[in-house]
Each structure stands twice: as C-alpha cells, then as structure tokens.
Chains A and B, each alone.
Chain A
C-alpha cells in the first residue's frame, strides 16, 4: 500500500444523545477526518468533547445520526462491530477475567477458528512483542496495571486490524511507565504499520507520539495538523490555549510610529511584526520560550513588556518566571536555569521582558473565536 492510501474516513459525522435531564447533547457535530496508511493520529480534546463517542462510532458500538464511516473504502453503516476490520484497546482494558493471558490474547483468533498451531505461534509472537512471554498462564488479576495494558494491546493487534483504536490507554499508568509505554507504542506502530487512532486528553502525549493531531472541542474539530503546526500555528485561540503553554492577548492592530502594534482593551500595547494587517482584530500568542529579559540598549526588532515577578518555578533545565503585567494578566517566561545572570532576580522585581516582534504567532479572528 502506498503512503497516501486512505485507511479510514469519517464524513460529516453527527451524533446526539438524549440527555436524561432533558434536551440533547451533540457529542459529534459534523466531524470529518481522514486517516492515511501508516499514520499515528491522535484525538485530543477536553473531557466530554466527544472523543470516545467518535471511536465508538468507528468501532460500531454507536450509530451515527448523519454522516458515514468508511474503512478501507467500505461503507460501515449497518456493519455490526464484530465484522469491522478495526480493533480497540479499551480505556479500562476490558480483559476477560475468567481467561488466562494466553486465551485473552488468542481470543480474536479462537473465535475466527484459526488452526491451533498457527494460533499458538501468533499468540506467542504477540506476547513477545509486548514483552510478556512467560506470562501466558496468568489470569488478568495476577498482573500489574502496565502488564494488563500490554495484554490489552497484544489482544488488539493479533487480528492485524487495518486500524487500531486506543481510548486513553495510558491514563491509568503512572508517569514513568506512561512515558515508556508512549515510546513503545510508537515503535510498535512503526513495526506493524497499522494505523493508530489514539485518544488522549493529555497534550504532551499527543505531541510526542502523533503524526497528526486532531483537536476536538464540543463535538467539532478545531484544527487538524502535525504537532509542529498546532504548536506554532494554532488556528484558534482554543487550540493555542490547549496545546502548549502561553498567554493570549486579543486586541485591534493599530499603527504606532509607523509600526504595527496590538492594542488590547485593557490598555496593553504589544509591538508586532511588519506583516500584521492594521485594522484587524487578532489574538497574539506569547509562548514562554518567546520571552527573554530585555537588553539595556534599544532594539527595534524587539517588543518590550513591563512586568512584576510573582513567582519562579524550578523545572529542571529551565526555570519558569511567572510575571504579572500592568493589566493584571499573567505571563510565563522560561529562562535557562543554569544561567547565573538570572540568579539575582527575586520575587517582586520589576522586569523588562522582550520578545522578537516577528516571532509570536497571530491568530486571525474569524468570527467564531472562543
């Protein structure tokens, strides 16, 4: 298969639930999405934005009100879950408690009547792949959380699905194990060449693992893009706030002494790069790494902000300085923790912060900004 082959496609998916308290919840509100061969796609969004619902419509446990799901070009409407060429790693793993690890992993082969030899070979191979050879005789309740997670993974890949759906598979693991598993998942995906559709509400996880990230909000797609695109060119203020750290300033672009600045309602004046279009309303995104302490000499290419240091937080290689601006907004500056020049800064100090005028990203206001 070529890299550009579409494995799965969702078109105009709409799904509402009748809320018990009356009215309807639109869990999916016109979602369209395309997954190409070999891609690792992540659905990222806040709780309740419809991530699980989207997965369940793809695996067939939820019927769409409108729109369609296609897998490998075949329309999936009215195809029951057990005939869809996708497999799922459930959020709570859903391992069969009465079956051994071996039988759990082999379940998909057993129900489709694969011959004993072939079955055993593939089960061992799958267990091997997730580093659990020798655990075949255990019952799920004799495993640790991370091991259960691996069994769920082995069980889901044994049928060699076209698409693997993973619903927050790492959320129950502690931070260290989670990071190990992130890497393992990624390399597993590379080895197998299966498409992964991965759900998480952890933005760090999404950025480290994915080829493509889909940001969902209230049943709609805010933006689809590579992790770099989302980080550096967020399409909406929602994305900017959800992905990475940073502060947002919304205002009108005006000309001051022949250079564009962003004037906010509460009186801040933020210098912008040359290409800013005067007269528009826009949102400026300042990430912690954009900001430095301002040099003494004047530099036209820098935007300067006056701020008071409120707190400094140690983060290993960097130290975050949380500053308050004249309008009361908070701004985080990330500085090299090993640089002794910053040692003298203490809480309450007045700081002059600088950012390169051309660097920060301007989000155009397109009517429906949040």
Chain B
C-alpha cells in the first residue's frame, strides 16, 4: 500500500539521521578502547590503557606512543575549566534571572531595546566576541587569566540564562502572583514561595546550559586565556595541533559522559514539577 511505503521511507529517514548524528561520536567512544598505538582506525584489542595513561597511571603502552606529556597539565586545565564554569554559572544565573524578572515585571522606556541588547550575544559570532574581549582587556590593562575568562564567559552566558528564564516566565500565569498578594503575602514572600518555584525549571535549565557552554567553549576562551590559565578545550586543541592521538578519544569520551550526566540531571529536574 502506498501509505506503508511512505512509512518505510520515513523510518529510513529517521535511521539515516540518527547514524549521521551519532556515528562520529560512536567512533570516538569505540576507539578510545582500541589498543593500537599508531593508527587508531585499525582495531587491535580492547584496553583501558588510554584512560589510565591520561591520568598518569603506569600502563603497558610504549612510552613513545603516549602523548599527554604531563598529566599535571591536563588536570590543571580540567580544574581551571571547573573553576570558570562554576563561577560563570553562578553569576550568569543570578544576573540572567534577575534581568528576566525585571523585564517581565516592569514597563519602562526602551524596554524592547534592552531586550534586543540581551539577545545580541546569542547571534554575535564567537570570534568577534573573542577579539573584542581581548582588545578590551588589553586596552584596559587587565591581566589575562581565569578572571578574564570568567568575565568573558559571563558576557554572553547571562543572555542564555535570560532567554531560558524569560521563556519560562512567559508561560507563567500572572494571576498566581496576584493571588498570592491577595492572600496577604508580601512581595518577597510571593517571590520566594510562588514565583521562584514556578520559574525554577527555567533557572536550572539556564544554569545547566550556561555550565555546559562554559565548560565547552573554545573560540572565545582561546583569545582571552592567559598562559597559565588553560581550560580543557584549549588544552585539547593544543594537543590536536600536534596530531590526533588515541588518548584524545579517551578524554573526549570522558567529556561526553560528563555532559551526558549534566544533561540528564537537567531533564530529571525539569520533569520533576
């Protein structure tokens, strides 16, 4: 029948799409367990060695094939990434959420202009933002380091949180706040007991988004990171320039697992009303 023919085509489309998206990732994960030291496209045998080696444990691998010269460097970059991501997320979440609330609640002149300003960083090319921040920091004599990365990330992550929370606010029933006030709650109580719980999924979603983006950002960070403040993506990029080695697969897989955990956490918190 014509219909079933169409349905098959549709399923095929779905399968091809999934392959298209997930095949490269699967390859990375699979080959992170491949023990062939030179050509990682040739499967030799299953091993955890690459994982051991990136954390600096002794392995049976030939020293020559190893690539991360110093596990300390890697761990330092991971630590930097976490410091940046946590600070940025905290700041961007607080500022982004308050901004969203302010624009939602109050009517003032040039409101849509402000709104536009807040959407801008979303469409601004990363590279432009990176250069602009670099020029700014250099001009004002601000030392490049963790602080400059945090400031740089905040400039655009505030927007992300703002947009997510605004979307949530738009779906909130405005009469809830009025009902709360009507029952005698002060504005602060209303915020704490009604507004915040209502927008919480948005706030958490925005925060997780900010966290992931901050952890993951390469382009902007590349411009504004100091010598001693390398983050994980910048570190990996540095490794790549000297050729793709199997350990990168292991690092990538670990990052993947981490992102997956964060995303699942987000989904879980969202589904819990």
Query: Footprint of B on A, CB under 8 Å?
Result: 59-61, 80-83, 86-88, 90, 92, 94-98, 107-108, 111-112, 155-156, 159
Query: Footprint of A on B, CB under 8 Å?
Result: 173, 175-176, 178-187, 189-190, 193-194, 197-198, 273
Complex Cα gap A155–B186 (Å):
17
Complex Cα gap A225–B175 (Å):
32
Complex Cα gap A50–B171 (Å):
26
18 contacts between A and B (CB under 8 A): A61-B181, A82-B182, A82-B185, A82-B190, A83-B184, A90-B175, A90-B179, A92-B173, A94-B175, A94-B179, A96-B176, A96-B180, A96-B194, A107-B193, A108-B184, A111-B185, A155-B179, A155-B183
A59 — nearest CB in chain B belongs to which residue? Answer: B182
Q: Which chain A residues lie closer than 8 Å to B176 at the CB level?
A: 94, 96-97
A97-B273, A98-B273, A111-B189 known; A88 vs B184 contact (CB < 8 Å): no
Q: Which chain B residues lie closer than 8 Å to A98 at the CB level?
A: 197-198, 273
Interchain CB contact under 8 A, B273 and A94: no
Q: Which chain B residues lie closer than 8 Å to A81 at the CB level?
A: 178, 181-182
Among the listed B185, B187, B198, B273, which residue makes an inter-chain contact with A107, where contact means beta carbons less than 8 Å apart? B185
Interchain CB contact under 8 A, B186 and A82: yes
Min CB gap A78→B, angstroms: 15
Q: Which chain B residues lie closer than 8 Å to A156 at the CB level?
A: 182-183
B172 — nearest CB in chain A belongs to which residue? Answer: A97
Complex Cα gap A307–B190 (Å):
63
Complex Cα gap A134–B76 (Å):
58
Among the listed A80, A83, A88, A112, which residue makes an inter-chain contact with B179, where contact means beta carbons less than 8 Å apart? A88
Interchain CB contact under 8 A, A82 and B179: no
Q: Which chain A residues lie closer than 8 Å to B189 at the CB level?
A: 111
A90-B175, A92-B175 known; A111 vs B184 contact (CB < 8 Å): yes
Q: Which chain A residues lie closer than 8 Å to B193 at the CB level?
A: 107, 111
Q: Which chain B residues lie closer than 8 Å to A159 at the CB level?
A: 183-184
Complex Cα gap A90–B180 (Å):
11
Complex Cα gap A60–B178 (Å):
10
Min CB gap B185→A, angstroms: 4
Contacts A111-B189, A112-B184 aside, 12 further interface pairs with beta carbons under 8 A come to A82-B181, A82-B183, A90-B178, A90-B179, A92-B173, A92-B175, A94-B173, A95-B179, A107-B183, A155-B183, A156-B183, A159-B184
Q: Which chain B residues lie closer than 8 Å to A108 at the CB level?
A: 183-184
Q: Which chain B residues lie closer than 8 Å to A92 at the CB level?
A: 173, 175
Complex Cα gap A53–B261 (Å):
50
Min CB gap A166→B, angstroms: 12
Complex Cα gap A131–B198 (Å):
28
Complex Cα gap A86–B184 (Å):
9
Min CB gap A148→B, angstroms: 13
Complex Cα gap A59–B186 (Å):
15
Min CB gap A102→B, angstroms: 14
Interchain CB contact under 8 A, A94 and B185: no
Interface centre among B178, B184, B190 (most CB of A within 10 A): B184
A87 — nearest CB in chain B belongs to which residue? Answer: B182
Complex Cα gap A95–B178 (Å):
11
Min CB gap A72→B, angstroms: 16
Interchain CB contact under 8 A, A88 and B182: yes
Interchain CB contact under 8 A, B175 and A111: no
Interchain CB contact under 8 A, A96 and B179: yes
Min CB gap A10→B, angstroms: 18
Interchain CB contact under 8 A, A82 and B175: no
Complex Cα gap A61–B175 (Å):
10
Interchain CB contact under 8 A, A80 and B181: yes
Complex Cα gap A61–B181 (Å):
9
Complex Cα gap A267–B178 (Å):
56
A82 — nearest CB in chain B belongs to which residue? Answer: B181
A152 — nearest CB in chain B belongs to which residue? Answer: B179
Interchain CB contact under 8 A, B183 and A94: no
Q: Which chain A residues lie closer than 8 Å to B185 at the CB level?
A: 82, 107, 111
Interchain CB contact under 8 A, B183 and A111: yes
Min CB gap B35→A, angstroms: 52
Complex Cα gap A130–B261 (Å):
46
Min CB gap A337→B, angstroms: 45
B197 — nearest CB in chain A belongs to which residue? Answer: A98
Q: Which chain B residues lie closer than 8 Å to A96 at the CB level?
A: 176, 179-180, 194
Give the 4 A-B CB pairs with smallest separation, nearest first: A108-B183, A94-B175, A94-B179, A111-B185
B176 — nearest CB in chain A belongs to which residue? Answer: A94
Min CB gap B166→A, angstroms: 19
Complex Cα gap A156–B183 (Å):
7
Complex Cα gap A303–B214 (Å):
88
Min CB gap B90→A, angstroms: 24
Interchain CB contact under 8 A, B180 and A107: yes
Q: Which chain B residues lie closer than 8 Å to A59 at the CB level?
A: 182
Complex Cα gap A60–B197 (Å):
25
Min CB gap B186→A, angstroms: 6
Q: Which chain A residues lie closer than 8 Å to B194 at the CB level?
A: 96
Min CB gap A94→B, angstroms: 4
Min CB gap B269→A, angstroms: 13
Q: Which chain B residues lie closer than 8 Å to A86 at the CB level?
A: 182
Complex Cα gap A86–B190 (Å):
17
Among the listed A61, A83, A155, which residue makes an inter-chain contact with B178, where contact means beta carbons less than 8 Å apart? A61
Q: Which chain A residues lie closer than 8 Å to B186 at the CB level?
A: 82, 111
Q: Which chain B residues lie closer than 8 Å to A107 at the CB level?
A: 180, 183, 185, 193
Complex Cα gap A119–B190 (Å):
19
Q: Which chain B residues lie closer than 8 Å to A94 at the CB level?
A: 173, 175-176, 178-179
